[in-house]
Chain A
Amino acid sequence: MSVNEYLLIIVAGIFVNNFVLAQFLGICAFLGVSQKTETALGMGFAVIFVMGIASIATFAVDRYILVPLDLVYIRTIAFIVIIAGLVQLVEIIIKKLSPALYSALGIYLPLITTNCAVLGVAIVNVEIASYTLLAAFMNGIFSGVGFTLAMLLLAGIREKLRRSDVPEPFKGFPVTLAAASIMSMAFVAFAGMV
């Protein structure tokens, strides 16, 4: 793949095909962990990290084990087991190597197993035939960056929203979703780029 194609993956991952605002993946985490910018950033880094590693692992397992052995039909099961195992492994390693990083990311890691963004990127990677291992890794990382960007923006808005007067039935999720709607509209502007 040429440099241009890699550049395309980066722009598409962050802006055009933004996981949250254009593809509706990882909405639970997007709504659940976006109360404060700090926690949003923490969750964001954990997601980028796991999505990068999971992309490599699932892509390699799929292309070098499942496809040659004609076992593609257990892809879903294999991927979810790999991701759950990876998350557990990452948790143990971070805990051992860097207690500071663990206390920052630790609580988010178990949540990532059921974050559909991770499984989503793994499935998207293997379904695009022209992807190489490096392209899959970059798609994982930069889709994660897009996810983090969207979550960080929403967290910023929500911090301001707390000080505004919101009608009773709209408190909580409804007003957050309305804000997400406006953000999503802004991201439509990127649609023509790729």
Chain B
Amino acid sequence: MIKKNRLGYFTDGLVKSNPVFRLVLGTCPTLALTTAAMNGVYMGICTTFVLLCSNVLVSALRKIIPDKVRIPAFMLVIATFVTIVEMVLRKFLPDIYSLLGLYLPLIVVNCIILARAEAFASMNTILDSALDGLGMGLGFTLSLIVMGGIREFIGAGSIFGFAIPGFAEKAPAFFILPAGGFLVFGLLIAAVNWLSKKAEDKMKAKAASGVHAHENMTEMLEEAPQ
């Protein structure tokens, strides 16, 4: 395994292996809650908290949990933290609790969290797992805000809840309907694919011409098509 610097674990989740647009995980809350940018903020924070905590605990218990029952064990860890989030929100922020509704308990089955527990936290140190959880969580949050922002702006004519006069009344509501959600999500993935393809080609051309090849270049090239 190639040794990477610690910061790499954190930034990976933000861009290169962004959970939503690159790995296409956690699609249910992504589609359901991105009718407004603020929803993305709330959902993102809740998911990041659960992801961070479950990554740390799974990593701490990785030598104790027997291999055969690891999936149920991970699910229990995740469900515990989701329950904590539910209780805290219900008590202190009941508005957000009812806004997220069904999707709050469904954080348990958000595939990002189980995937990170299984693929990362169960075989890395606590600090690295915490960084990975934080990076993935923030990558998820950012994606939700970007997509929510786009749908809210086009579909409801507002930015973070502030209506734009003259546009809000005429905004095509299609974009905040489920159909619009599927379409915007598809277009965003296509855009990310196109941009990363362009970046890759550029790097290949640079490497071929041999101008000051970055020492990480080959490593990055190998990892890019995930």
Could you tell me which A residues sit within 8 Å of B by CB distance? 21-28, 31, 73-77, 79-81, 84, 113-116, 119-120, 123-124, 168-171, 173-178, 180-182, 184-185, 188
Contacts and interface: CB of A to CB of B under 8 A. Distances in A.
B83 A174 contact: no
Contacts of A113: 71, 75, 109
User: Dominant SS at the B interface?
Assistant: helix
A27 B31 contact: yes
Given A77-B79, A115-B109, A188-B177, A168 B32 contact: no
21 contacts: A23-B178, A24-B27, A24-B29, A24-B178, A25-B106, A31-B24, A75-B105, A76-B79, A76-B83, A77-B83, A84-B72, A113-B71, A114-B114, A123-B105, A123-B106, A169-B194, A170-B193, A171-B193, A173-B186, A177-B186, A178-B187
A181 B108 contact: no
Contacts of B79: 76-77, 80-81
A40 to B, nearest CB: 17
B32 A175 contact: no
A180 B114 CA distance: 26
B172 interface: no
B87 interface: yes
A15 B23 CA distance: 30
Given A76-B108, A114-B109, A181 B182 contact: yes
B102 A120 contact: yes
B32 A23 contact: yes
Given A77-B83, A116-B109, A173-B189, A181 B102 contact: no
B225 to A, nearest CB: 12
Given A116-B106, A116-B109, A169-B191, A76 B186 contact: no
Interface of B: 24-25, 27-29, 31-32, 71-72, 75-76, 79-80, 82-83, 86-87, 102, 105-106, 108-111, 114, 177-183, 185-187, 189-191, 193-194, 197
A77 B102 contact: no
A181 B183 contact: yes
Contacts of A26: 28
A115 B25 CA distance: 12
Contacts of A74: 83
B114 A76 contact: no
A71 B111 CA distance: 27
A26 B160 CA distance: 28
A157 B86 CA distance: 39
A27 B109 contact: no
